[in-house]
Copies of this chain bind each other. A is one copy, B any other.
Amino acid sequence: MKTTPLRQEFILHFGEMGSRWGINRTVGQIYALLFLSSEPLNAETITEALGISRSNTSMGLKELQSWNLVRLKHVPGDRRDYFTTPDDLWEIVRTLVAERKKREIDPTLTKLRELEMQGPAGDDYAEARIAELRELIEMMTGFYAEMEKLETERLVKLMTLGSRIAGLIDKTGGMIPSLTKRK
């Protein structure tokens, strides 16, 4: 396991960014290490490469597995678990977005619907604001669901349309008036 200065710096950066991304330093570092590694690594190797405790590695890997961000591999004749990240970066992005949505958006959408269910609370302003927020989140998650369905090639085409995007949507499609009326 050579750790070149290039890798080192990349790994440290991911560690530092970890907290901003809602994971901790160790998890960020483990992920970075796996990301740059062409072959799968086992927990012992990771532990040594990062200079952390064995149990910390175990917890970090568990966390990454809960995010579906690592794949478990088995080497024939070796009982240890080996881990990798997917080769396909788009797969990684899709997973990341899906998981963040699940953790950061869905619980709130559920809560907003719940609050609306509880019926009129005699607080018109708050009720209106909550309804409006719920509508907006629903619109965005609906859009996301469509994007998610696209195969990667189409997604790339869409993303590289550049300024032609604006032109695409001139004459087409419906809208939700209540969300566009605000001044």
Asked whether, in the complex, the Cβ of A159 is within 8 Å of the Cβ of B182, the reply is: no
Asked whether, in the complex, the Cβ of B165 is within 8 Å of the Cβ of A147, the reply is: yes
From B89, B152, B154, B162, contact of A132 by CB (8 A): B89
From B103, B140, B160, contact of A175 by CB (8 A): B160
Contact indicator per residue, chain A 132-168, by CB within 8 Å of chain B (1) or not (0): 1100100110110011011011101111111111101
- Is A66 located at the chain interface by the 8 A CB criterion? no
Q: Which A residues fall within an 8 A CB radius of B?
A: 2, 4-7, 9-10, 13, 17, 20-22, 35-38, 87-90, 93, 103-104, 107-108, 111, 115, 118, 121-123, 125-127, 129-130, 132-133, 136, 139-140, 142-143, 146-147, 149-150, 152-154, 156-166, 168-169, 172-176, 179-180, 182-183
Give the CA-CA distance A104 to B28 in the complex, in Å: 13
Give the CA-CA distance A127 to B104 in the complex, in Å: 32
Asked whether, in the complex, the Cβ of B121 is within 8 Å of the Cβ of A150, the reply is: no
Asked whether, in the complex, the Cβ of A180 is within 8 Å of the Cβ of B153, the reply is: yes
Residues of B within 8 A of A142 (CB): 159-160, 162
19 A–B contacts from the bound complex (CB under 8 Å)? A6-B126, A10-B111, A13-B108, A17-B107, A37-B125, A89-B133, A90-B136, A90-B179, A142-B162, A143-B158, A146-B165, A152-B180, A154-B169, A157-B174, A158-B169, A160-B175, A160-B176, A164-B172, A168-B168
Give the CA-CA distance A88 to B164 in the complex, in Å: 27
Q: How many copies does the complex hold?
A: 2
Q: Tell me how far the C-beta of A86 lies from the nearest C-beta in chain B, rounded to whole angstroms.
A: 9
Residues of B within 8 A of A122 (CB): 4
